[in-house]
Amino acid sequence: MKKLFVANIPYSASETDISEFFGVQGKVTSVYIPKDRETEKSKGYCFVEMEKDSEAVEAISMMDGREFGGRQLVVKEATPQKKRDNKSRDADHGQKREYGRNPSSSFNRR
């Protein structure tokens, strides 16, 4: 099985729509459309998993640049997600920050 990254999908596209569109190239085993946490709307890209690697390669060559729902798709092989380095983000954990204020300004002094 090979996973494809598909960018620029219509925001209204469903997993079924994507599966049917890519099903012309071979058996689609799964479709995942990431959603925004707050709005639950599509982020405009998805991951398509094809049963056979040869079908996935064919899908890339046939679907990349093709129009779907009024948008031109970008289709390529998905790459594994890189591990995030949380050290820099967690370095300030627990420290109070004052955004947008200059503590030394005369306005903030009493």
User: Does residue 97 form part of some domain?
Assistant: no
Please state whether beta strands 67-68 and 28-32 pair in parallel, antiparallel, or not at all (unpaired): unpaired
For the stretch 4-29, pLDDT in tens is: 999 999 999 999 999 999 999 999 99
Distances (CA, A) of 109 to 97, 98, 100, 102, 105: 17, 15, 15, 10, 7
How confident is the model over 85-98, as pLDDT tens digits? 766 555 555 555 55
Per-residue pLDDT at 89: 55
Q: What is the pTM of this model?
A: 0.73
Looking at the domain assignment, is residue 105 inside a domain? no
CATH for 37: 3.30.70.330
pLDDT of res. 99: 53
Q: Which residues span the domain enclosing 24?
A: 2-77
Q: Which H or E run contains 31?
A: strand 28-32
Domain count, the chain: 1
Please tell me the distance from the alpha carbon of residue 48 to that of residue 3, in angstroms, as a whole number: 6
Q: Mind listing the pLDDT tens digit for each residue in 36-62?
A: 999 999 999 999 999 999 999 999 999
Paired tokens of 12:
């209204």
In a domain, 98, yes or no: no
The confidence score (pLDDT) of residue 93 equals 53
Please report whether residue 94 resides in a domain: no
* 84 in any annotated domain: no
The per-residue pLDDT for 81 is: 81
**pLDDT (tens digit, 9 = 90+) per residue, 60-88?**
999 999 999 999 999 999 998 888 776 65
